[in-house]
Structure 1
Amino acid sequence: MLKIRLKRFGRKKLPSYRIIVIDSRKKRDGKALEEVGFYNPITNQTKLNMIKIKRRLNEGAQFSRTVKNIVRRANIK
């Protein structure tokens, strides 16, 4: 099953995350099938490619709980 979830990168104590599409059995920082966005929790900066996200959702991918909340917040603004 495909999941849309976060992949951590950045320095120690200064995390940033890429929003990626990956097989649910792979490890958190494993090789992604596709990168569909970016999230920085420190500055609350979010960048999403909604076209790619919607395409992957139509193919059967599912959000992780955190990414679902990020997308929901981004669409309200």
Structure 2
Amino acid sequence: MIKLRLKRFGKKREASFRLVACNSTSRRDGRPLQEMGFYNPRTKEIRLDTEALRIRLQQGAQPTDAVRSLLEKGGLIEKSIQPAEVVGKMKQAAAREAANKAKTVEY
């Protein structure tokens, strides 16, 4: 399976990352199949090769969580709702309903 992941490079404590496509069993800093972007967390710079990313995603490449958030910021994929967010919203809705019922109970 092909994974889209971040490959670390740069000095100590000054990390930058390349967005690469690689085999899921290869090492994080191993040889990639293709380099498709760049991310610098210090300057918040993001450069993406949108055409290459679109092709890899259509071929079935799976992005890691960090890459998924970068692709969402770049507008390549729609923002996904995380399961924790759904559960949190459901709990909030249930709490609101319980509060409304408590207010409307007459003695």
2:26 counterpart of 1:45 = no
TM-score normalized by structure 2?
0.69
Structure 1 residue 71: Cα displacement: 1.1
Consecutive unaligned residues of structure 2, counting only runs of 5 or more, are 77-107
Deviations 1:4-63 (A, max 9, x none): 000000000000000000001001000000000000000000000110001011111110
Q: How many residues align?
A: 76
Task: Name which structure has the greater RCO, CA cutoff 8 Å, separation 6+.
Answer: 1
State the AA in 1 paired with 2:53: I
Determine the structure 2 residue equivalent to 1:22.
22
Determine the structure 2 residue equivalent to 1:63.
63
Determine the structure 2 residue equivalent to 1:36.
36
State the AA in 2 paired with 1:64: T
Give the percent of matched residue pairs that are identical in Structure 1 and Structure 2.
39
Q: Structure 1 stretches (4+) deviating beyond 3 angstroms?
A: none
Distance, in Å, in 2 between the alignment partners of 1:74 and 1:58 is 17
Distance, in Å, in 2 between the alignment partners of 1:74 and 1:40 is 14
Distance, in Å, in 2 between the alignment partners of 1:59 and 1:65 is 18
Q: As a proportion of its length, which structure holds more helix?
A: 2
Distance, in Å, in 2 between the alignment partners of 1:17 and 1:43 is 12
Determine the structure 2 residue equivalent to 1:8.
8
